[in-house]
Each structure stands twice: as structure tokens, then as C-alpha cells.
Structure 1
């Protein structure tokens, strides 16, 4: 049985519908990440789980019990906000203990809880400081500590790392993952950063314009995107989405992509993609991630279907562990991810390897996955 279940949830402000028939469920101890661009409805969805926003219709249940009509105080949920929301006149210890004081928790129990969470979050040396004396990462730890002492059924995180610099974001991401592995508490986490989503989640819900585009594990979302939006949004660099034509001959199905000079790159279709036959002779969108388009020596030796093609390299971007090369196929720029020591330079025609086991195909009209 699912631990947190959201069924046919809708949220409207007057005639404006923000969330449109959302269906999500997560197991106990899972880490659900709600991801999507600004304005997609992810924070509104989090607020409906918290009870900060009433729902228009649908159901939210924890352990089979409806919480949709309950006030926030009765949902057994703790929330960590983007802005930290710390009391500036209180010490770190006071901020962590404040909620327990309101609930009349005995002093010895409060002190024990403060000690436990400060040890977990490594902020024991900060307990007597005020928030103004803390760094951004330390303030976020205090905000997390205030949620932890409640020992709730579900933790809600609303873009908790967006105010931190790039390096600190990475460090805090690791801390949150470590915390989840240790406590095994159910977490719902909102972010617009798809790297955060991929690294933290056990399940990801991708939203756009209030509609759930896809729900699944990070591997499912990344390798088997349901539509062009998910394919483009999840991944950095993004998936290459190119105009191609489906063909068939004695060797089987293939797709052809135009080079800038008018010549074609013809690529065989991997086995199991028979649904493409319904698009013979028609334009489709061919999707391939940069890491599946690489130099010949860097190609995956375990792949079943590897094809090679000559491509004019327009730009080379060294990036430390990798080298990115930009070419042009199907009328669009294409990013290939090569080995760091790949011998390649701008203006050269290079032979690249296409791992077609990793290719996906979309209908250009509906933008939904074909195969």
C-alpha cells in the first residue's frame, strides 16, 4: 500500500485551474521530487499537501487516511522553506525548540531532541548563536533541525537550496541525501533544478502548466521520457531532438538526418521499435542524449546497435572530465559528449558513434513518445 497518495487532485483560483488531475503515490521512506519550470504548479502542490492551500477536488491520503480537510497542525507534516523562516531574535537552540515549547513539550525532552538533531546536522557548536551570525548553509541546517525535532510522518522541502551558491548547493544536496538514508523518513521535495531531482529522488514527478507529464524513477524519467518536454527538461546538456525521416529497406527500419550540405546520415533503428513502422516516410523527432553520441573510441562496447557517421564539428568545449562538441544534424545544433582526451577540433569532420540503444522517437505533432 502506498504511504502518501494523491488522487485526481485539482486546484483552482476562481476560473484559473492551477493543478489539473494530479495522481501520484509514494512508498513509505521514499523521496519524491516535484520538478518543473517556474509556474508549473509544483509549490502549489506542496502547499496542498501541507494544508497551506485547500484543494478544489480530489484526495490526499497518508497511510490510507484522508488529510485533505485537516488543518496543517493535524497532518503530522514538517516543512522546510526556501527562506529558512528563522526567528532573528532567538538562538539556534531557541529556533529548533520553539515548536516544542508551543506544544508544551517538557524541557528535558526538548534538550534531548536539540542534542540529537544538532549532532545529526553537525551544528552543536552553533546552538548559542543568532541567525544573523550564520552562513546560508548553516541557516538551512537550523531550518532542517527545527523540522527534524518534530519527527513527522512526512517532510516537505520547498526549494531549500535555491538561495545558496553553487558549491554549497552541491554540499547541502549531499547532506540531505545522507539525512534521508539515515532517517528513512518520507520526503516530498520541490525544485526547478533537474540535477537536484535526479540525484536526490527515488521517484520524480515532472510538471508543466499544472499537468503531470511523467512520474517514475530517475532512470525511467531520464532514459524513457514520455514526451518531448520531459526529454528536453531532464538532463544537462539537454537531449538532442532532431527532425528525421523514417525509412525501411531490406536491412530493416532506419532514420535519416540531413547534414548542412544536404547529404544524409542514415541510422539503423534498434530492435523493438516496430511502432515506428506506422510513420514510414514521415517526419519524426529523433532524440539522443549527448553521452550516446561520442567519439568512436568512447562508444559503449556493450551497446547492441552502434552506428557511425561523419559530422562537421563547429565548436569544441573542453569541460575537464569531458569534451563537448557541437555539430549540426536535422537542421539543429547537436551536442556530442566525448572523452576528455578526444583528438578533435573545430572545423574538422569527425566520425562519431551513435548509440542507438539509447535513441528515442517522438511524434512532432503530439510531442508524445512513439518508441
Structure 2
């Protein structure tokens, strides 16, 4: 039985449908990340789980209990907010213990819980300080500590790292991952950052305009996106989505994509691409990740679907561990991820290796994946 289950959930503000039939379920100890662009409904969905927003239709179950009509205090959840929401006049220790004090937990028990959680979060040396004396990362740890001492059924995180600088975000991401692995807690985490989603989640729910676009593991979302929105949103750099025509010849199928100069670029499709045979003579959207489009020496030697073709390189972007090369195919800018020491120059022609085993194809009309 799922530990957290959301069934046909709808939320309406006046005449505006914000959530449109959301179905999700995660196991106990799972890490569910709700991801999507601003305004997609992810924070509203989190607030309905918390009980901060009522729902228009559907059901929410936590540990087998329907919680639709329960007050937030009765749902056994703890929430960590983007703004930290610490009491400025209290010390770190008092902030962490405040919820237990309100519930009448004896002081020796409170002190032990504060001591244990402060050791886990490595903030024991900060217990006597006030929030104004802390950095952003330290404040976030205190907010997490306040939630952890409650030992709730579900932890809810609402974009907790968005106020931190880039390096601290990476550090705190690692801390949250380590914390989850050690405590085996059930977490629902909201972010607009797809890198956070990929690195933290055991399951990802991608939302757009209040509609669940895809729900699956990070690998499923990344390698087998259900539609062009998910393909474009998840991944940095994003998946290349290239308009192409499918042509049949005596030897099978091939893709054809116009270039800015010269003849169209053609790629012979491997035998496994027979799934798009019904599109022969028509058009598809050819999706390929930048790492599946590289220099020949950097291509996957275990793949039988690697095809080489020469492209005009327009821009070269060294990025330390990688070099990104930009070309144009099908009227679209296309990014290839090359080895750091790949010999490439803007304005030159270069053979690129297309790993067609990693390619996906979409219907140009519906934008849904067809293969």
C-alpha cells in the first residue's frame, strides 16, 4: 500500500482550475519531488497535502488514512518553508524545541531531541545564537532541525534552497540527500530546479498548467520523456528537439534534416527504430540529448547505434570538464557535448557522433513520444 497517495485531486480558485486531476503515490521512505515552471501548481499541491489549502475534489491519504478534512496539526506532517520562518527573538535551541514545548513535551526529552538533531545537522555549536547571527545555510539547517525533532510521518519542503547562493545550494542538496538516506523519512519536495529534482528524488512528478505531465524515476523522466515539454524541461542543457522527415529506402529508414548550408543531413536509423516506420514519408521531432551527440572519440563504444555525420560548427563553448559545440539542424540550434580536449573550432566542419540508441521521437502535432 502506498504511504502517501493522491487520487484525482483537483483545486479551483474561483473559475481558475489550478490542479486538474492529479494522481500520485509514493512508498514509505520515498523522496517525491514536484517540479515544473512557475505557476504550474506544485506549491499549491504541496499546500493541499499540508492542509494549508482545501481541495475541490479528490482524496489525499497518508499512511492509509484519508486526511482531506483534517486540520494541518492532525496530519502528522512537518513543513520547511523557503523563508525559514524562524523566530528572531529565540535562540537556535529555542527555535528547534518550540513545537515540542507547545505540545507539552517534558524538558529533558526536549533537550535530548535538540541535542540529537543538532548533531545530525552539525549545528550544535550554534544552539545559543539568534537567527540574525546565522548564515543562510545555517538558518536552513535550523528550520530543518525544527521539523526533524517532531518525527512526523511526512516532511514537506517548499523550495528550501532557492534563497541560497549557487555553491551553498549544492552543499545543502548533498546534506538533504544524506539526511534522507540516514533517516529513511518520507519527503515531498517542491522545486523549479530540475537539477535538484534529478539529484534528490526517488520519484519525480513533472507538472505544467496544473496537469501532471509525467511521474516516474529520475532515469525514466530523463531517458524516456513522455512528451516534448518534459524532454525540454528536464536536462541541462536541454534535449535537442529537431524537426526531421522520415524517409524509407531499400535499406530501411533514415532521418533527413536541413542544414543552413549544403545538402540535408541524413542519418540511417538502426533496425530498432522500426517503431516509427508508420511515419515514413512524414515528419517527426527527433530528440537527442547533448551527451548523445559528441565527437567520435567520445562516443559510446558499446552502442551499435552510433552514426557519424559532418556538421557545421557555429559556436564553441569551453566549460571545463566539457566543451559544448553549437550547430543548426532542422532550423533549430543544436548543442553537442564534446570531450574537454576535443579539437573543434567555430566556423569549421566536424564529424559528430549521433548515438541513435539514445534517441527519442515525438509526434509534431500531439507533442507526445511515439518511440
Smaller-chain TM-score bracket: over 0.9
Determine helix, strand or coil for the equivalent of 2:304: coil
Q: How far off is 1:262 after superposition?
A: 4.5
Structure 1: distance between partners of 2:162 and 2:353: 37
Q: Which residue in 2 is equivalent to 1:303?
A: 303
Residues 106-255 of structure 1 correspond to what in structure 2 (within 5 A)? 106-255=106-255
Q: Which residue in 2 is equivalent to 1:370?
A: 370
TM-score by length of 1: 0.99
Structure 1: distance between partners of 2:187 and 2:273: 37
Residues 258-297 of structure 1 correspond to what in structure 2 (within 5 A)? 258-297=258-297
More divergent stretch after superposition (62-71 vs 214-223): 62-71
Structure 1: distance between partners of 2:193 and 2:139: 21
Structure 1: distance between partners of 2:270 and 2:358: 9
Structure 1: distance between partners of 2:271 and 2:159: 41
Determine helix, strand or coil for the equivalent of 2:22: strand
Q: Which residue in 2 is equivalent to 1:361?
A: 361
Determine helix, strand or coil for the equivalent of 1:88: coil
Render the CA deviation track for 1:85-142: whole Å, top value 9, x for unaligned: 0000000000000000100000000000000000000000000000000000000000
Structure 2: distance between partners of 1:161 and 1:94: 23
Structure 1: distance between partners of 2:142 and 2:303: 47
Q: How far off is 1:157 after superposition?
A: 0.2
Alignment: residue pair count: 371
Is 1:34–2:38 an aligned residue pair?
A: no
TM-score by length of 2: 0.99
Structure 2: distance between partners of 1:165 and 1:122: 20
Structure 2: distance between partners of 1:251 and 1:224: 27
Contact in 1 for aligned 2:314/2:347 (Cα 8 Å)? yes
Q: How far off is 1:230 after superposition?
A: 0.2
Q: How far off is 1:270 after superposition?
A: 3.2
Determine helix, strand or coil for the equivalent of 2:270: coil
More divergent stretch after superposition (256-265 vs 336-345): 256-265
Structure 1: distance between partners of 2:30 and 2:270: 34
Distance 1:259-1:71 versus aligned 2 partners, 3 A rule: same
Determine helix, strand or coil for the equivalent of 2:301: coil
Render the CA deviation track for 1:232-270: whole Å, top value 9, x for unaligned: 000000000011001112221221111112412111223
Determine helix, strand or coil for the equivalent of 2:190: strand
Q: Which residue in 2 is equivalent to 1:87?
A: 87
Structure 1: distance between partners of 2:122 and 2:277: 58
Determine helix, strand or coil for the equivalent of 1:273: helix
Q: How far off is 1:272 after superposition?
A: 3.2
Q: How far off is 1:271 after superposition?
A: 3.5
Residues 335-346 of structure 1 correspond to what in structure 2 (within 5 A)? 335-346=335-346
Structure 1: distance between partners of 2:121 and 2:346: 48
Structure 1: distance between partners of 2:131 and 2:120: 19
More divergent stretch after superposition (210-219 vs 245-254): 245-254
Q: Which residue in 2 is equivalent to 1:53?
A: 53
Render the CA deviation track for 1:290-327: whole Å, top value 9, x for unaligned: 00000000000111211011001001000000000001
Structure 2: distance between partners of 1:102 and 1:55: 28
Structure 1 residue ranges (4+ consecutive) displaced by more than 6 angstroms after TM superposition:
none
More divergent stretch after superposition (276-285 vs 292-301): 276-285
Structure 1: distance between partners of 2:236 and 2:271: 27
Determine helix, strand or coil for the equivalent of 2:88: coil
Q: Which residue in 1 is equivalent to 2:327?
A: 327
Determine helix, strand or coil for the equivalent of 1:272: helix
Q: How far off is 1:197 after superposition?
A: 0.2
Determine helix, strand or coil for the equivalent of 2:173: helix
Q: How far off is 1:274 after superposition?
A: 2.7
Contact in 1 for aligned 2:252/2:271 (Cα 8 Å)? no
Structure 1: distance between partners of 2:253 and 2:201: 36
Q: Which residue in 1 is equivalent to 2:73?
A: 73
Render the CA deviation track for 1:321-360: whole Å, top value 9, x for unaligned: 0000001111111000000000111011000000000101
